Amino acid sequence: MSLLHGPARFILKLLGWRLLDLSQRPAKAVVIAYPHTSNWDFPVTLLALAALPFRAHWVGKDTMFRGILGPIMRGLGGIAVNRRERTGFVERVADEFRRRENFHLIIATEGTRSRQAGWKSGFYRIAVAAGVPVIMAVVDYPKREAGLLASIELTGNEDADMARIAACYEGRKGYHPENASPIRLL
């Protein structure tokens, strides 16, 4: 990604996007991506990651990793997850956080591009189990901003933590704002 730093910044600027970054990033964190309302989120996010530069892995549904796309998705930092059955994913990822000195994992909290009743709780359970902070990431289409908003330590009080997360995303909108899910855990 470091080779792509300059070109990615140039492309984002050419397209009218402003890059957001934290003054200091934690060495390990679960990075939550919200809102996720369009297929365009993926390429804009990859450009922003390259432009920052920010080496991170990301979680995607296992069907994205089938066939010829599999090696490409893994090469871009993708980790496949089977959402149809319990596989111990949360504990495996928490172990990965404990094993590494630097590790960032991006998770689309809604789990899909369509409106849901709330967010999947995997990101929260991983961050608590691993004892790592959560970084809020955004692709805000009306403001043409992409990047990292804030970092918080979770307390284990879901209601209080989700209220702090919701405050960070206040006024942020996706490509299809009507598809953004409410900021609450299911």
Q: pTM here? A: 0.87
Number of H helices, E strands in the chain: 6, 7
Split at pLDDT 50, 70, 90, the class of 3 is confident
Tell me the C-alpha to C-alpha distance, in Å, between residue 101 and each of 22, 27, 185. Answer: 19, 7, 29
The domain locations on the chain are 2-179
Token couple for 173: 């909108």
- CATH match of 2-179 with 1.10.3470: no
Tell me: the pLDDT tens digits for 131-149?
999 999 999 999 999 999 9
pLDDT mean over 10-23: 96
Token couple for 121: 């709780």
